Each structure stands twice: as structure tokens, then as C-alpha cells.
Structure 1
Amino acid sequence: MSLPLQIMWGSFYLGVCFAVELALLVWCSLTIQAFAHHWHRYSHTIRIAAPIAFTLFCIVLAHTIQVWIWAGAWMIGDVMPDWNSALYFSLVTYTSLGYGDIVLGPGLRIFGAFASVAGLLAFGLSTAYMVALMTRLFEGKLPR
């Protein structure tokens, strides 16, 4: 794949991943706001633990979907021999772990790097979201 195509397709998949991340974090926020008034009946522990647990669920779901998106890209492009290899490569690339036991040829390296960028930015956004949530929880600023 030529460099311009790698950049174009990498940007496309990166954008899809951002849309997934944003959609799930917005849904998470709206759900927490909708249920916050129900949690006041429970102990302080539940009022703090429930939003954190739900947020972790949303974050893990968002990252899992994004890894599957990249695995799909490898399968659509006939780059990986099977879904197991595609998921494995997507996961180690998305997390920037990069064992190096599966490597891409020169015609896909830039495209592959976009998967790593998607993971780095998504983990950063997820972390910032979790810190903001925890700050609001411990300051008692969630709706009741």
C-alpha cells in the first residue's frame, strides 16, 4: 500500500476508533447521571463503587471494540492468516506492547502504527475520564 493510502486508511480507522471511544464515554456519562439519584439510597461505598465499576465496564468495552476494529482491518486487507493472529497482533499493537513476533511488511508499517496511536490516545482519554470521574465522586459533585 502506498504511503498516502496508508495515511488515509490509518486516519480513517483512527477516526472510527475515536468515534467509538467518544460514544461510549458519552453514554457512560449520561447513564451515570441518569442513575445517580437512585444510588443515594445506598451506602457511601455503593455510591462511589457503582459509577467507578460502570465506567470501567465502558472503558474496557471501548478498548475491546477498538481492538476488534483493527483486527477487522487486518482481515479485510488479507494481512493476517486468521482471526486469532489478527486479534493478537491488534492487541499487542494497540497497547504498544509490540512483541515483534508478527511484523508487517514495508507497505503496511505506517498503517500499523496508526493502531498504536489509536491505543495511546484512547488510553489517555480513558485515564483522563476516570480521573475526572473520581475527582467528582470524592468531592461529592455527582447529581443526586
Structure 2
Amino acid sequence: MIAQLAIATAMVLATVLIHGGGLLLLARLLRLEQREEQTERVSPLSPRGVTVTLAVVLGLFAIHGIEIWLYALLYLGAGALPDLHTAVYFSTITYGTVGYDDEGVARAWQLVAAIEGINGVLLLGWSTAFFVGLLARLGRR
């Protein structure tokens, strides 16, 4: 159990660093876009503004995708799941806490999977707060 907790902790730290770095990059890109919108007097609800918002959504999906794949590769590399498809599927529904019968994952990795669910909720919440902040900023302009 100590080994599982250590691995889960390392994964939480890795995904938090990935997530923070990804959000920092998106925030910097948004600041650059905001400056251009102000300089050129472009509405955030223009086609360009909508495109930027959609790009942020795709960026958030990409960040979460990287984190999900990181867990999937851990499960696959450890032999906890039989193949890549199963590992990515299991990781995706665990990360998003959709739920899954964890009989498919090796018993030694069930605690890591449970912690992945908690980690996913926190990171999804962080992304939601980031996105709500973006939409609030658009509403003020």
C-alpha cells in the first residue's frame, strides 16, 4: 500500500505541474490576444474572439488528455491493464469520475486508480475555474 501511495503521490504532483504549466501557457496566450483585441478594437464576441475561446477549450482538453494518457501509460507499463485501449478508457473514466467496475484493473493498482479520480476532479475543477474566469472577463468587456 505504501508503494501505491508513493506512486499516486508522484502522479498527482506530475499532473499538477503539467496542469499548472498548461494553464499558464493558455493564460499568456489569452493576455496576448486581449492586448491585440484592445489595440485593434476587436470585440471578444467577434469570429476571432469565438475562435480564441474555442482554442482555449481545445487547449484544456489537450492538457487533460496528456494527464489521462500519463495515467494510462502507468497502468499499461505496470501490467495493471491488458492493452492500450483498455488503459486509456479506464484512465479517462476514472479521471472524470464517471465510474467503472475496477475489477479489470489489477488489485495492486486500485488505490492509484481511486486517487486518480480525486486528482481528476480537482484538475477538472481548476480548469472550470480558469474557463469561468475567461468568460467573466469577456462579459465585462
TM-score band by shorter chain is 0.7 to 0.9
1:11 corresponds to 2:9: yes
What CA distance in whole angstroms lies between the structure 2 residues aligned with 1:101 and 1:130?
A: 31
Question: What TM-score do you get using the length of structure 2 for normalisation?
Answer: 0.88
- Unaligned 5+ residue runs, structure 2? none
Instruction: Spell out, residue by residue over 1:86-127, the C-alpha distance to the aligned partner (whole angstroms, 9 max, x if none).
Output: 101101111111231753343222111121112101110011
1:37 corresponds to 2:35: yes
Aligned residues: 138
| 1:46-85 matches, cutoff 5 A | 46=46, 48-85=49-86
Greater share of helix residues, 1 or 2? 2
What CA distance in whole angstroms lies between the structure 1 residues aligned with 2:33 and 2:44?
A: 15
Instruction: Spell out, residue by residue over 1:35-79, the C-alpha distance to the aligned partner (whole angstroms, 9 max, x if none).
Output: 222234334522642442232122111111111001010111111
- Unaligned 5+ residue runs, structure 1? none
Q: Paired residue for 2:91? A: 90
1:126 corresponds to 2:124: no
Residue 13 of structure 1 deviates from its aligned partner by 0.6
What CA distance in whole angstroms lies between the structure 2 residues aligned with 1:106 and 1:37?
A: 52
Q: Paired residue for 2:23? A: 25
